[in-house]
């Protein structure tokens, strides 16, 4: 598996600080470039994704045993839409994923719990249409927190095999105080009632969690808040160096890591090495 963390830890402290400063400049420049490109694509993602209309009663469901991949649900972050996943979706499709669906939730949504309930209905619809008993979810930023709430607090672990989060404030981020007036942003603050709910015991959760976090993610304050550390959850944390918050869903190295995370639990991948984290 590729090493996603490229920070030369062996450098002397002075050189390492200089390297980090240069890396932060590069990461910020990349985020700005991603933002510019995303603003062009943003209108294309405003409308809901078209989904096939099927009648489960009239269409026999084929057994899913032996299929290569379960469906993948892509869930965007705050004030965003499904267009953020254009490149990641293309990468997954090129590598054999056939069932890829995105869910837009309204920027007017004021409660992560409400968005998690909507996600649950969406997952049930996908399972009904595809005949799969489980899905995988990839969530960017707030999207990962919504998906985690669904899995951990609303019984979603019965449907979600693997949840991959990209730059998600699992412990709350202090940067959320900058937009504290928005109710859903307040829920992302450290110590919020929702964050306390997610810290509560969660025995028996079957979903596997993979959290990608970057030490140059300026929206995660502190950066370690994007790690998922919970004694009851099967969680793996992957550090990404040289990539900012906005670049997480579009960077090819992260896309490769996501593909590996989604296949790690499948029988044909059982002999692969674990992610390397320097």
Per-residue pLDDT reduced to its tens digit, 261-272? 999 865 443 333
Tell whether the torsion through CA atoms of 168, 170, 171 and 177 is positive or negative.
positive
Residues 6+ apart with CB under 8 A from 81: 42, 45, 46, 104
Per-residue pLDDT reduced to its tens digit, 117-172? 999 999 999 999 999 999 999 999 999 999 999 999 999 999 999 999 999 999 99
Joined tokens for residue 197: 């709910």
Contact of 211 with 226, CB cutoff 8 Å? yes
Buried residues in 166-182 as b, exposed as e (16+ CB within 10 A): bbbbbbbbebbeeeeeb
DSSP string across 169-226: -TT--GGGGGGTTSHHHHTTSTT-HHHHHHHS--TT---EEEEEEETT-TTSSSGGGG
């Amino acid at each position: 598996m590729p090493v996603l963390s490229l920070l030369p830890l062996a450098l002397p402290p002075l050189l390492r600080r200089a390297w980090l400063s240069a890396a932060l400049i590069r990461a910020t420049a990349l985020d700005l470039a991603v933002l510019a490109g995303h603003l062009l694509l943003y209108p294309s993602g405003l409308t809901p994704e078209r989904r096939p209309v099927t009648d489960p009663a009239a269409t026999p469901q084929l057994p899913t045993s032996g299929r290569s991949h379960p469906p993948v649900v892509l869930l965007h972050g705050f004030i965003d839409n499904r267009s953020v996943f254009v490149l990641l979706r293309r990468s997954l499709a090129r590598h054999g994923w056939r069932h890829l669906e995105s869910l837009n939730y309204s920027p007017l949504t004021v409660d992560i719990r409400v968005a998690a309930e909507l996600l649950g209905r969406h997952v049930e619809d996908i399972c009904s249409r595809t005949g799969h008993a489980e899905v995988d979810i990839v969530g960017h930023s707030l999207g990962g927190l919504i998906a985690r709430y669904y899995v951990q607090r609303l019984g979603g672990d019965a449907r979600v095999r693997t949840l991959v989060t990209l730059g998600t404030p699992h412990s709350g981020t202090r940067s959320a105080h900058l937009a504290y007036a928005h109710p859903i942003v307040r829920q992302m603050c450290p110590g919020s009632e929702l964050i306390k709910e997610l810290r509560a015991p969660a025995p028996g959760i079957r979903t596997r969690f993979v959290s990608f976090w970057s030490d140059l993610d300026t929206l995660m304050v502190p950066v370690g808040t994007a790690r998922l550390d919970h004694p009851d959850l099967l969680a793996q944390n992957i550090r990404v160096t040289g990539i900012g918050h906005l670049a997480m869903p579009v960077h090819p190295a992260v896309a490769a890591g996501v593909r590996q995370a989604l296949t790690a639990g499948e029988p044909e991948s059982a002999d692969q090495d674990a992610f390397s984290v320097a």
